[in-house]
Amino acid sequence: MAYDAPLDEMAFTLEAVAGLKRLEGLAGLEAYDPELLAPILDEAAKLARDVLAPLNQTGDSQGATLTEDGVKSAPGFAEAYAAFRDGGWMGLTAPEEWGGQGLPKALSLAVMEMFHGANMAFGLCPLLSFGAIEALLAHGTDELKAAYLPNLVSGTWTGTMNLTEPQAGSDVGALKTKAAPQDDGSYAISGQKIYITWGDHDVAENIVHLVLARLPDAPAGSRGVSLFLVPKFLLKEDGTPGTRNGVKCIGLEKKMGIHASPTCVMEYDNAKGWLIGEENKGLACMFTMMNAARLNVGLQGVAVGEAAYQTAFAYAQERKQGMIKGVDGPVPILHHADVRRTLTTMRAHVAAARSICYACAVAADLAESAADAETRHAAKLREDLLTPIAKAWSSDMGVEVASMGVQVHGGMGFMNETLAAQLYRDARIAPIYEGTNGIQAIDLVGRKLSGTNGESMRVMLGEVEASAAAARATNDPQLVQIADRLKAGADALRTASDWMLEQMKSRDQDKALAGATAYLELAGDVIGGHFLTKAAVAARTSDGAARARRLALAGFFAETALAAAPGKVASITEGGSRFLENSEALFGV
């Protein structure tokens, strides 16, 4: 596999579109210097290109294996993780007091895009560790932080998230894993968890499991769930791993993709664990971890989409087929208009999704570190609004773009040994885990839109309209045309948002929820178009090639995705109604 991170695009998106400069000098981010941006991205790109990418296809074909001694990682992955750990990448955003570097989440997100793009199965390991660190920082006791954070931050140990059980998927309140209080203040954890990413492996010295379980007297449902820290190895007095805890992997899931990422069935047999946060408040603690994971999963869509584009573009330059006027003999398929259109669609949607994810990360940084409460509050509203869109729109995009990559390859793309096929198989999980995309749509409508009475979306739409006005003010004919499309898209999203609010205020909310997925798709289209327009305007001072490229992407997106936006309103406001009215005829219920 050949993967070269689009460093110029990433840096430009961070600075000119997402607003990374707003983070300079903020409390907790004092270590960030804009001069660090280029060298950090450069070094991450080398690790992605030279170490992780060469293992991607071999990891897919050979995968992780379960032995009597536990899970053995795919060949080369332990050495690759050592390079990742020794490079200090795990602690990029962690506080300096715990051995981290205190840099912005947005910068770390760009770094992780490269690692996911080069090798998504590898990138899943640190993804869960990032979430474990955030959960401990927010909810752990001082004793747990001191015992576990330094090694998690250094990457010496890794973290997991244990939610799902055979009978409890999205309905976490149905879980049955038990936690029995012990005389020493610990808890005995017993039960089974499934779909645990990197639940066991041999790349790190210890694994720190964050496990949802139920206390003996806990209330029913999600209100009776608590969160526990359960290490693979119990710690000795000097803080190093000691005896094996009562937790092990009893099976590896057989998946359609991400074969090198061990997805484990975990068995807890009176394993010793410690409470994180308050009793019966575990779901609130876990959401700290899940929100971080959701943004990173959206980023996986960006990363795999970028890899699929690069792979398809390289193939389109090499594969000769068909004739064109003025050229003797077969020509590279890149010369055919439909292939170029497909590649442009891939590239434009990846760029839009990258912007959404990076902007969400900058908002998360501001929500924690901005100097005044008003800015922190506004940033939190923006982070909350963009998180379900970043997760769902971007991961759906990743699947669709990977599918387009297969199409560019033609019959060769359907062969399992090709990278195009692997990327498509790998990408398909992203719309499912960390909350299915249907749940993200319901969250967008039910909490993020209705929870603020539409205020967070109104502020977002004000910025979208400002981008349209800025594009129009340039008097550049192409930007004026883009502005028209963007303004029409903003009007459509405003109409759909107002309708959604009305429906959610009614006693019968099924109409709104039936249109929620279509609403999220429209929101992603319009907000993505806003960021591409913002990029095109900002690039007017760039060199000729960069300016032309960003203008071309924004223009193409405007005349395809944004041009369709007004027509999508009816699918939101009427599609759900027609579906509900005919449910009995369709399903007999």
Position 174 confidence tier, pLDDT thresholds 50, 70, 90: confident
pLDDT tens for residues 84-137?
999 999 999 999 999 999 999 999 999 999 999 999 999 999 999 999 999 999
Percent of the chain with pLDDT over 90: 88
233 contacts 206 by C-beta, under 8 angstroms? yes
* pLDDT reported for residue 542: 83
User: Residue 307 corresponds to which amino acid?
Assistant: A
pLDDT tier, 169 (very low <50, low <70, confident <90, very high otherwise): low
**Residue 188: inside a domain:** no
Q: Which residues contact 549 (CB under 8 A, 6 or more apart)?
A: 539
Contact 102, 32 (CB under 8 A): yes
pLDDT digits (tens, 9 = 90+) for 313-345: 999 999 999 988 888 889 999 999 999 999 999
Three-state SS across 146-167?
A: HHHHHHHHHCCEEEEEECCECC
- Domain membership flag for residue 571: yes
Q: Amino acid letter at 304?
A: V
Say whether pLDDT at 171 is over 80: no
- 512/519 Cα distance (integer angstroms): 9
Task: For 489-498, give one letter per residue: b (16+ CB within 10 A) or e.
Answer: bbbbbbebbe
Q: Which helix (H) or strand (E) holds 242?
A: strand 241-244
Q: Rounded mean pLDDT of the chain?
A: 95
* Phi, then psi, of 271 in degrees rounded to 5: -70, 140
The catalytic position among 68, 434, 521, 574 is 434
List, in sequence order, the alpha helices (H) in 207-336: 282-318
Inside any domain, residue 30: no
Measured from the Cβ of residue 543, the count of other Cβ atoms closer than 10 Å reads: 9
**Count, residues in the chain:** 589
Q: Which among 82, 295, 312, 337 is positioned nearest to 201, based on CA atoms?
A: 82
> What tokens appear for 451 in the block?
């929870």
Given a contact cutoff of 8 angstroms between Cβ atoms, the answer to whether 489 and 526 are in contact is yes
497-540 pLDDT, tens digit per residue, is 999 999 999 877 899 999 999 999 999 999 999 999 999 999 99
Q: Is residue 266 part of a domain?
A: no
Q: Which two structure tokens, joined as six digits, stand for 383?
A: 């982070």
Rounded to an integer, the average pLDDT of 480-485 is 98
Predicted confidence band of residue 283 (pLDDT cuts 50, 70, 90) = confident
pLDDT, tens only, 365-416: 999 999 999 999 999 999 999 999 999 999 999 999 999 999 999 999 999 8
Find the Cα–Cα–Cα–Cα dihedral 231, 234, 236, 241, rounded to 10°: -60
**Residue 70: predicted pLDDT:** 96
CB atoms near residue 507 (< 10 Å): 4
Q: Output the pLDDT for position 223.
A: 86
3-state secondary structure 567-581: HHHHHHHCHHHHHHH
Could you tell me which of 429, 391, 409 has the C-alpha nearest to residue 308? 409
Distance CA 200, CA 175 (A): 21
Pairing of strands 263-276, 187-197: antiparallel
| Within-domain flag for 560 | yes
Does residue 138 sit within a domain?
no
Determine the pLDDT at residue 517: 96
Number of compact structural domains in the chain: 1
Residue 494 maps to a domain: yes
pLDDT at 168 over 80: no
Is residue 35's pLDDT more than 70? yes
- Whether the pTM exceeds 0.75: the reply is yes
Asked about 434 being catalytic, the answer comes back as yes
- Angle, alpha carbons 385-304-387 (nearest 5°): 10
Task: Render 436-497 in DSSP notation, one character per residue.
Answer: -HHHHHHHIIIIIIGGGTTHHHHHHHHHHHHHHHHHHHT--HHHHHHHHHHHHHHHHHHHHH
In order, the DSSP letters of 306-325 are HHHHHHHHHHHHH-B-S--T
CA atoms of 264 and 255, how far apart (whole Å): 11
For the segment 284-300, the average pLDDT, to the nearest whole number, is 89
Which H/E stretch holds residue 263? strand 263-276
Distance, CA of 272 to chain centre = 31
* Alpha-carbon Rg for the chain in angstroms: 24
Output the pLDDT for position 279: 94
Predicted confidence (pLDDT) per residue in 415-466, tens digit: 988 999 999 999 999 999 989 999 999 999 999 999 999 999 999 999 999 9
State mean pLDDT over 27-54: 96
pLDDT of residue 589: 60
Does residue 519 form part of some domain? yes
CA–CA distance, 574 with 441 (Å, rounded to integer) = 17
DSSP helix/strand/coil, 249: strand
What does the buried/exposed string (b/e) look like for 76-110 if buried means 16 or more CB atoms within 10 Å of the residue's CB? bbeebbeebbeeebbbbbbbeebbbbbbbbbbbbb
**195 and 256 in contact (C-beta within 8 Å)?**
no
- List of residues 6+ apart from 332 with CB closer than 8 A: 316, 317, 318, 319, 320
**d(C-alpha 126, C-alpha 588), whole Å:** 46
Of 63-77, 141-155, 158-172, 528-542, where does mean pLDDT reach its minimum?
158-172
Domain residues for 569? Answer: 437-580
Alpha-carbon gap, residue 56 to 119, rounded angstroms: 5
